[in-house]
Structure 1
Amino acid sequence: MNYVLLFILLLPLKLALKLVQKKTARNLVIQTAKIGDFVNITPLLSHLKHSDALLSRSVAPLARHDATLDEIFYIEEHKSSTLSKLKLAFTLMNRYENIYLLQPNNANLFFAACCNADNKQFLSMYRRKWYQQLFYLTASGTVEHTKTTLTLENYLKLADRSLTRASYPKHATLPLLKPQDTPGEIFRTDRIKIGISISAGNQAKTIPPAIWKRLFERLSDLPCLFYVFGSPEELPRLNALYEAVGNADNMVNLIGKVSLEGLPWAISNMDFYVASDSGNVYIADSQNVPVILIYGPCCVEEQRPLGDVLLIGPNHISPSSFVFHALYAFNHPVEQLFELDPQKLDDIYHFISARSPLLAQEKKTLP
């Protein structure tokens, strides 16, 4: 409740400054989550055309290449001390006409509530705390979000209640950044190129190597190349995967070789992307790459890729991890959450072969 006390302390100054506020017609978008969540706010950014934003530094490589964003503040730089919080609150206070709060945690609610904007639209969700009511009293309007409503659509409705998921496409960088140092093997056209993520930001959502082995074996008669995307910290997981599948000559290691800002361009050159609920599947979806989402414990009614997607979930296990209530341990073993039985493997096989008819007919002759 420290943010509540801080807001009460600032309230006299906030009210005094409101008397001298000048109209600016500027927008501020507040969403301090990670990569997938950033991609899912881009339809709203497109609708608003030009905005400032309060974001997480983890998405900085994408955000700084987004033509819809002007000035960007990063939450990590303003939470270290009470003084840094007050400085940001004062900076934002009289600067904006429109505030759009997409991630209503205590810090973001505090900064949004401090703003003297005529139009303040807050997302209200299932983890709302009683003491947050003080912050919500400053809002002009709210959009109620539940575990069965789509985050992307509710983000859009903050700006215009008539907007839907079909109103604007997603993007990851705008315009699409095409780095010159993109690895050349990404541009091959003689194989079915399948990007994969062998880890997730939430390690509890990581697909185990035995599951990947089962998938590779089912697709073994297709001419597939599997491109492993990830950060250098994921090399131990790649080694574990190699231990499970052996010397696979159809795997291309891209771990640490593609920057985050270059990731959308690299992924756009894939024919498919396979992963659990992670940022890369949303990047792939934004580039119109068909996605196979092995979603495990996640609630896909609330957030999922919206393009050409095959959803593969656990058998007879209800979702237990949500966008605003993410768990980092689950009651079921990971092998059960991400299990690929024969029917699921067949579904994946046919999803890929139906979209790659010419290559699927070729005899697999990998170099």
Structure 2
Amino acid sequence: MSSDGSYERDRAYIGTRITADGRDGYPVEPGRYRLIIARACPWANRSAIVRRLMGLEGVLSMGIAGPLHDERSWLFHLDPGGRDPVLGIEGLREAFLRREPGYSRGVTVPAIVDVPTGRVVTNDFEQVTLDLGSEWAAHQRDGAPELYPERWRDEIDDVAGAIYRDVNNGVYQCGFAGSQRAYDAAYRRLWERLDWLEARLEGRRYLVGDTVTEADVRLFPTLVRFDAVYHGHFKCNRQKLTELPALWAYARDLFQTPGFGDTIDFAQIKAHYYVVHDAINPTGVVPLGPDPSGWLTPHGREELGGRPFGDGTPPGPPPPSERVPPLGSAAIEG
């Protein structure tokens, strides 16, 4: 928190990369690493989506932390015995401490852990998705889409940068604001950017070009959480997503695209925000709404053209162990 009450995200991540040539000491190797996510977390949601789109399930295993973590760590409270079945740890903090004894920064997801040593390799969420789409190319499925095509990279970077600043992080700046002035400023930036996105998407199916790109992967996790969490819990309440015609149709289009909606668990999302953020919601009461069934209604975006996977193909269904509950399921064991 800054002196004026503005929320400032700590971005001091472990920046080691897993690359095809292993230049940071961690070469791409099937079965060596484990991606740790939480269904609740929008930053981790990006990695889960890209892993699905690239078809890396068979070479990069995925552990899923539960939504009800404490102030120290994401916890594996949904797994039998409360331990990740591959790493054998109760909390993700253990893997950070193995990498850096005395580690004092944020224990965040997504994180990729080196299974043989149990050490975190990286938690740099922006670089992780880019590397899954490029450095892991030798192990991607046939038909994997190109999410960061060279001809569109400058525009993707510009659009994604604005989305991060004003929307992805903007909702947190509203929700965690410590003063009225800081909240008002964040709220105005958020809605100016959402209005800009609404106008941009009125006549085009995707944010950049005519296929799904990194820009779409980065916007979707915030949109899918908007009405369930950010609208009320974070006071981002000028309008609901369902009241923004282009953005609501765009979000439904992506939700119904394989690799996007099949990573979403609304029960875990709501449990995390409404229970863990006890300074904002001290009662810990989790709302029953909104009704998620609207995510499966027709969106009509096909009329704008474009092909979600370009010359590629949709991913197959997720592995049985990674399937999310049907819309409307709400049980969370803590």
User: Please, what TM-score do these two structures have when normalized by structure 1?
Assistant: 0.28
